[in-house]
């Protein structure tokens, strides 16, 4: 890519996702932004272009009429030399994945603050009529001041009060609930499941299903006879009420999960 792109000056690249390349850029006023560019091969398919731009539209709607402090801000989107791109707010941060991997004090000393921020922003997204459907530590940024910022809304869909049949199953398997993996159905409880997995990792530095082979881990995740490892087996110091909340979020049967993020927040706020 040229140093100049869509009126911005590229300063460096970032680690991108499967569909996109990410760059840090500055404008004429030296303000930093992140530019997402859809992979050239992926951009050949109209479906991929539609999904890419859809994510920006959802971010813009969620930040209207005023920006939400826990959602990345959308600046603009378009084409540059036939390459679909999107300009987003630059967030000085590290991903939650990094903090989990290195067991950073910023995480261990503020874990309940992050859990509550994540629960609140998911509840807000649902209240505005969307499911995120790609909640995972890689899509959660943590600023040095402790503010959590959720990114990547490419998979977001309108929220329904009943199971929605998905055309395809996307997202990272470990954060996708069994009913979605098996039957391609999702509702609020898909995001609640992903929230629960993130909390499980933040509190224990483990996942509820682990193994050396990905296919065996996935099999355990969807097998109704294989329960998730109780979180207190990894960290006995977790209070029982908090452990029960996390395990209820990741229950295999969606009927055993919280049906609404409002109820998750209620129980979080009732924790001593």
Q: Which residues pair with 21 in a beta bridge?
A: 37
Token code pair at residue 10: 């590229």
Task: Count other C-beta atoms under 10 Å from residue 46's C-beta.
Answer: 8
Domain span at residue 159 reads 94-269
The tens digit of pLDDT for each residue in 188-215 reads 999 999 999 999 999 999 999 998 888 9
Token code pair at residue 24: 């840090």
CATH code for the domain of 143: 1.10.510.10
Query: Average pLDDT of the chain?
Result: 94
Q: Based on the domain organization, do 103 and 202 belong to the same domain?
A: yes
Q: Which of 89, 117, 133 is the last residue of a domain?
A: 89
The tens digit of pLDDT for each residue in 23-59 reads 999 999 999 999 999 999 999 999 999 989 999 999 9
Q: Are 215 and 157 in contact (CB under 8 A)?
A: no
Q: Which of 71, 89, 107 is the last residue of a domain?
A: 89
Q: Based on the domain organization, do 164 and 237 belong to the same domain?
A: yes
Q: Based on the domain organization, do 50 and 135 belong to the same domain?
A: no
Rounded to whole angstroms, the Cα distance separating 39 from 193 reads 29
Q: Which of 89, 118, 153 is the last residue of a domain?
A: 89
Comparing CA positions, the residue from 62, 60, 10 lying closest to residue 36 is 10
Q: Based on the domain organization, do 198 and 133 belong to the same domain?
A: yes
- The structure's pTM equals 0.95
Q: Based on the domain organization, do 8 and 134 belong to the same domain?
A: no
The predicted pLDDT at position 224 comes to 93
């Amino acid at each position: 890519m040229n140093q100049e792109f869509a009126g911005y000056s590229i300063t460096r690249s970032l680690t991108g996702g499967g569909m996109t390349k990410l760059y840090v850029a500055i404008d004429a006023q030296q303000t930093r932004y992140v530019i997402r560019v859809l992979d050239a091969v992926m951009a050949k398919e109209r479906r991929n272009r539609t999904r890419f731009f859809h994510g920006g539209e959802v971010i813009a709607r969620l930040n209207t009429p005023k920006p939400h402090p826990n959602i990345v801000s959308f600046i603009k989107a378009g084409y540059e030399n036939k390459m679909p791109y999107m300009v987003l707010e630059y967030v000085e941060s590290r991903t939650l994945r990094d903090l989990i991997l290195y067991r950073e004090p910023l995480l261990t000393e503020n874990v309940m603050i992050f859990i509550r921020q994540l629960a609140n922003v998911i509840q807000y997204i649902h209240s505005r009529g969307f499911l995120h459907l790609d909640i995972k530590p890689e899509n959660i940024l943590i600023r040095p001041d402790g503010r959590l910022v959720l990114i990547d809304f490419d998979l977001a869909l309108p929220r329904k009060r009943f199971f929605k049949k998905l055309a395809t199953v996307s997202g990272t398997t470990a954060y996708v609930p069994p009913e979605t993996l098996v039957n391609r159905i999702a509702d609020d409880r898909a995001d609640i499941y992903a929230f629960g997995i993130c909390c499980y990792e933040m509190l224990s530095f483990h996942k509820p299903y682990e193994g050396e082979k990905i296919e065996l881990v996935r099999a355990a995740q969807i097998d109704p006879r294989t329960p998730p490892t109780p979180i207190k087996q990894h960290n006995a110091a977790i209070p029982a009420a908090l452990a029960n909340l996390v395990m209820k979020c990741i229950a295999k049967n969606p009927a055993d999960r919280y049906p609404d993020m409002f109820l998750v927040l209620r129980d979080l706020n009732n924790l001593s």
